[in-house]
Amino acid sequence: MMKYFFTIIVMLLFVGCKKEKPQKQEINHREYYIPVEGNRINMKIDRNSTIKELIPRLRTNHEFYETGKGYWIGYNDLMFSIAVHSDSAIGPLLNFIDTTNCNDAKFAALYTIHLIGINGEIQGRTYEEFVNLMARDALFNLLAKNDYLRTDAMQLLIRDPKESDVPKLFDILDSTKSDCWQITSGLLRYDLKNKPVAQVVPEKLLNKKIKLKKQINFPESKKFSEFFKEFSKKHGDFVNVEKTLFNYNYQMPVIYGIDNNEINLGYLTGLCNMTDYSSISPNFQYSYEDGKIKFFSAQTTKNIWLEWWKDQRDSYKDSLRHSYKKMEFRKF
């Protein structure tokens, strides 16, 4: 009797010391890879570690692969190893973002949530299918609460814009004190009728130029205050510039080189329309009406969009809220 009792005790101790089993993987593909210029990189999936073990490793393993193309994201092997656990990894990833002090790790966790959202599949160059609603809700959560990740969260959402996004974006705009320039810029990616900003401007106006009289040795983003001052002076008959932009903290996610301190209006309006599959416009905007162009700050842009949304019919808002259809605005 004592022999059997001793055997049972040993077995219980063995079970108690046994390592926690890895969670069941919920995304299953024959192979996992990312496309890169002229080739592909096959991912090595860690099938032995648990989510609890994998996610903290983002603190030291957060580098992205170089894809050679701006429209492809270089998720790494660890991101894939976490993403295959799908929904069960989303909550722990959000908690990790809230608690880690490593900013690079926050970004890696954000992009891992996006990888879950697209079910671990890169569809094409400028096309993807964001199919996981739980992951999409997680991105909206970060968009609303995390200023640091807001730009990237918005860029990831608009890679596959959905009709149901629109009411959520306006809910965030209405409830957040920040100017949320990333959201107002991102709205240009949606096929909304009668947008209150970024309208088509006649070619003859877009060709109007200014040239700064003296060389300015600031970074290019700092030159824009001077550009707007000069446009206001030289072309004030049809260019109206909000004075805030004369001394402004410009956020320029996408910017082209400026030659000889000379630009035309088309350059500025082009920047405002840069939002597309893999980029987002800066934190100023314009409107065109009755032959005049008005440039204004992100806060003014937010106010203009909120007024536009207030004027939309409730039936239209409800139809968007309950639809998961793609809502991509195509420029060409």
Give the tens place of pLDDT for each residue, 147-206: 999 999 999 999 999 999 999 999 999 999 999 999 999 999 999 989 999 999 999 999
What letter represents residue 200's amino acid?
A: V
From the list 215, 219, 227, the residue with the least C-alpha distance to 265 is 227
125-134, 163-172, 216-225, 271-280, range with the lowest pLDDT: 216-225
Q: Is the pLDDT of residue 8 over 90?
A: no
In-domain check, residue 28: no
Q: Is the pLDDT of residue 13 over 60?
A: no
Domain end, chosen from 160, 190, 206, is at 160
210 & 329 share domain: yes
238 & 329 share domain: yes
Mean pLDDT calculated for residue range 100-104: 97
72 & 150 share domain: yes
Amino acid 10: pLDDT: 44
Q: Can you tell me the distance from the alpha carbon of 10 to that of 98, in angstroms, rounded to the nearest whole number?
A: 41
79 & 193 share domain: no
Beta carbons of 114 and 156 less than 8 angstroms apart: yes
325 & 211 share domain: yes
pLDDT band at 228 (very low <50, low <70, confident <90, very high): very high
**CA end-to-end span of the chain:** 84
Task: Annotate 62-125 with DSSP letters as a single string.
Answer: -PPPP-SSTTS----HHHHHHHTTTHHHHHHHHHHHHH---HHHHHHHHHHHHHHHTTT----S
Residue that is written with structure tokens 């992009």 in the block: 111
199 & 252 share domain: yes
pLDDT band at 31 (very low <50, low <70, confident <90, very high): very high
Count how many Cα atoms sit within 13 Å of the Cα of residue 165 in the half-sphere of its side chain: 30
In-domain check, residue 42: yes
Amino acid 257: pLDDT: 64
Of 107 and 26, which is predicted with more confidence? 107
Domain end, chosen from 160, 192, 226, is at 160
In-domain check, residue 203: yes
130 & 214 share domain: no
152 & 207 share domain: no
Angle at CA of residue 228, ends 289 and 244, nearest 5°? 85
In-domain check, residue 172: no
215 & 150 share domain: no
Q: Which domain holds residue 155?
A: 33-160
Q: Which helix (H) or strand (E) holds 293?
A: strand 292-297
Domain end, chosen from 106, 131, 160, is at 160
Q: b vs e for 87-113, b when ≥16 Cβ sit within 10 Å of the residue's Cβ?
A: eebbebbbebbeebeeeebbbbbbbbb
Task: For residue 208, give every residue at least 6 positions away whose Cβ sits within 8 Å of its Cβ, in sequence order, or none.
Answer: 235, 239, 264, 265
Beta carbons of 83 and 27 less than 8 angstroms apart: yes
Q: For the chain, how many structural domains are there in total?
A: 2
In-domain check, residue 25: no
Q: Classify the C-alpha dihedral 269-273-278-279 as positive or negative.
A: positive
Which tokens is 143 given? 């968009």
291 & 144 share domain: no
Amino acid 261: pLDDT: 79
60 & 126 share domain: yes
184 & 330 share domain: yes
In-domain check, residue 169: no
In-domain check, residue 238: yes
In-domain check, residue 171: no
